[in-house]
Each structure stands twice: as C-alpha cells, then as structure tokens.
Structure 1
C-alpha cells in the first residue's frame, strides 16, 4: 500500500450504521466464494450478534478509506474455555474490488496492535486453503502455518481444506 493510502485508512469500532454494509460484504463471500464456510447468507440480527458482541476484548472494527467502508477486521473468541482467554481468532473481510491494494495488510497490523493492547498472547487465523491471497498475507506478516485439516468442509459440491496460521504477539504473563 502506498504511504498516501495507508495514511488515509482509518479504523473505528463497528457501529449499528455499519451493519448493512458489513452484512453485504460478508454475504458476498458466503454466496460467491469459499472464503466463508457459511453456505446460507446471514441475516442482520445474526451479523449484529457476530460483530457487536458487547465483550470488551472481542470487537470488530470498520476499515474506512476517507468516508467509505472498505471492509472490517475483528478479534473473536478462539475457544469458549478459560485457558484460551489469551488467544484470539482474527478475521479480515474486504469489499470486493478492495483486495490487492495493501488494505488487508494495514488492517492486520492494526488488529495486532489492538490485540497487544488488550493483552492477547496469540492470534490465530483460519482460512480455506484455496484462498491463496489470505494465506500469503498471513505468511508475509510473520504468521506460521500451525494446522492443516483436509476435506473438513463442503461447499459448492466440493470438499475443502482449511489452514490455521498463528502469531505470538505478546510475552507470556501467567
């Protein structure tokens, strides 16, 4: 991403007014790609619950360039067991047409900084293995492939693999 564009990209917590666009972005991937393993479009109430969790550490953020929403990035609970509280699962979704411009990398850097401020130790991202662009994004930014599950999902009549990438961002404080 050019320095000019990077300086113009901003992040803010997702608010109610962002939800229709966030839903459209996510449902595009549901209906047209293997980026999401949902096979049916989400509804506005389901998306609201997903990105407006009310939990102080698990939040989603709008990615904006100027006044236009480019996508969103978030930290979700990795597993619902207390021992995992220092780990977060991250996601980045960009509007179609906004990929390949460096916005995803900028979003990843933002969410890592935010996660460190919230005392996360490990970040995990799980992606469909055929989503080569996301796989490259995580590897390029210091994530290691830590798991690979073959034929774990089925979408569009095909069996799909997933890969998990992780990055240790904090020092262990027990």
Structure 2
C-alpha cells in the first residue's frame, strides 16, 4: 500500500517564501477492500482563509483523485471548527458520524465529525 500512497496528491501552498497551507490525500485503511477510499487533510494558516485558496486546493485534489479512480473521499473535522464544517457542507460533503470526545486540545475534549 505504500506504493499506492505515494501516488496520492500532496500540495504545499506558499505566499512568497512563506508556507501558508498544505493539503494531501492518504489511504483510509491499508486493506485492499478500501483501496478506492481516501481521507483528505488540509490546513490554511490564520489570515489566509476565506480567500478561495481552500476551495481551489480542494478542486485540484478532488480532480486528481477522480483521475486515480478514487470513489470515496472522507474528511474528519473538529466539532468546534464551525468554519470548516460549513466549508465542507458548501462543497457537498455530508455528515455521517460523530466520534464523541475523541480529541483533546486547549484543556478540552472535542468531537470529531
């Protein structure tokens, strides 16, 4: 599966010489049964959101994944990240589950959706 992993898209977003974000796809699970399913992770630095960069990155990643015949794309989002939840809903993602109190940050537990 490592060879397959290396075919999946990865991007770094820069403004000048400053890294302001990244995005990449990775295998959902190592079993061949899930070979057509990936997870996406991306992040933009504060101050660079709501400028269309996340949408452009997502379009590029999704397009490349379609070319690779990936049929399912999953994302996990903190229940406290309302902007990300709204962003993904606008992109057409649906909510299929909630892992309660699975994350811990800033002395608080949060859910993963």
Show structure 2 runs of 5+ residues with no match: none
Give the structure 1 partner of residue 52 of structure 2. Answer: 102
Picking from 51, 64, 73, the partner of 1:114 is 64
RMSD between superposed Cα atoms in Å: 1.9
TM-score, structure 1 as length reference: 0.58
- Larger Rg belongs to: 1
1:81 aligns with 2:31: yes
Measured in 2, the distance between the counterparts of 1:67 and 1:118 equals 31
Structure 1 unpaired stretches of 5+: 1-52, 164-174
Q: Which has the higher helix share?
A: 1
Tell me if 1:129 matches 2:79.
yes
The aligned residue for residue 138 of structure 1 is 88
* Structure 1 position 67, deviation (Å): 6.4
Matched residue pairs, number? 111
Tell me what 2:8 maps to.
58
Shift of 1:65: 5.2
**So what's the TM-score if we normalise by structure 2?**
0.86
Superimposed CA distance per residue, residues 86-113 of structure 1 (whole angstroms, 9 cap, x where no aligned partner)? 0010011112211121211111111100
